[in-house]
Amino acid sequence: MADKVTVFVGPSLGRDRPTSPAIDVDYRAPASQGDFIAAAVELPKAMVLLDGYFEHVPAVHHKEILWALDQGIPVYGASSIGALRAAELSRFGMIGVGKIYESFASGELERDDEVALVHGPAEVHYEPLSEPLVNIRSTLSFAIDAQVVDEDFAESLINRAKAVFYPQRTFGRLLGELDSQADLVQAERLASWLPGGRRDQKRMDAVACIVRATSDLQKSSGECGRSGSGFVFTNAFAQLVLCTATGLPLGSRVARALVELSADTIAGLSSASVAAGATALVLDRATRGPVPIRSLGETVKSFLEHVPGGDIGTWMKSRNLDLDTLSLILEELARIDRSSDAAEELLYRTIHSRLKIR
């Protein structure tokens, strides 16, 4: 089986996507929060973040990438949100590729909206409906070199573009709002030149990033993106993993891996309230609907069988659990339909890992 590289991409590549004869390039939709960690638990040979959602849904969280790096998965970023995250996380091992990444890493670019655009749905291959500012900059730089426009005109267009909300950025709008005769002459030249001269910097960087990731993998150098500093589990990361798991079918391999990861995460935290809240969250949402009520007595009996010596008071005190918190956990466990193997497994994993029974 070919090694797999997972790539999150949308408008940066559209329908024309590079392939590799030796590497399985697993193209996925632009990433939102949770998508990256869901892919990372499958342990691909490498991961590439290019495009991702933001504004209306939570964006890819830094901790998702850091966890992947800590597992030894090389993570590459370019083009759009991938370039932003790579600039932010390069010191932890994320590999940035391309001109856009370099501009953010050097501080030449700082604003997130430099890479923002609106696009169509997957059915039309995420066709761009506006022009990202990084592409406007690259195109105008190329136009200056080709002596189509001068530097002053290019700078004035960039300033106009920066003042416009990103969904409304198009060359047509920018060139249609000019007043002076001199600007109109250059605008006409630029408009005639654009069909063949426009530079899609995001696409160029995206292709370069995929080529770099697949090339590195074929070299089999043994190098990886591990940061070496160790990943720190946090309450927020535990909740993120659980929220991701509960949005997937309970019996799916990825959901089970995420539940297992969250169990390990919560087991390493000291807050009993976090464990209780996370348990309630995963059991509430995992079945995507009403949860059958099962006997609380049956759950309590099963729980007590796992308490060393049956000494519940000592066990609770050693874990800083009060009766209300323990009751909440047991009530949530009782709501599982234990007739299925998946639910039975989840029950005992929860008892062992979230309640930290030894």
The amino acid that residue 317 corresponds to is K
For residue 225, give the nearest of 47, 79, 82, 106 by alpha carbon. 47
Our measurement of the distance from residue 167's CA atom to the centroid of its chain's CA atoms, rounded to an integer in Å, reads 22
CA–CA separation, 163 and 296 (whole Å): 61
CB 174 within 8 A of CB 184: no
The amino acid that residue 163 corresponds to is A
Cβ contacts of residue 281 below 8 Å, gap of 6+?
A: 239, 242, 243, 246
Residues of the chain with pLDDT under 50: 1, 222-225, 270-278, 280-294, 337-340, 343-344, 351, 354-358
Structure confidence by residue, pLDDT tens digits, 178-236: 777 668 889 999 999 999 999 999 999 999 999 999 999 988 654 444 555 578 887 77
For residue 14, give the nearest of 152, 117, 153, 102 by alpha carbon. 117
Say what the pLDDT of residue 241 is: 85
pTM, 2 dp: 0.75
CB 294 within 8 A of CB 338: yes
Say what the pLDDT of residue 334 is: 63
> Each residue of 133-172: b (16+ CB within 10 Å) or e?
bbbbbbbbeebeeeebbeeebbebbbebbeebebeebbbe
CA–CA separation, 319 and 170 (whole Å): 59
Say what the pLDDT of residue 266 is: 56
CA–CA separation, 91 and 344 (whole Å): 42
- Order the strands of the 95-96 sheet from edge to edge: 23-28, 3-8, 46-49, 75-77, 95-96
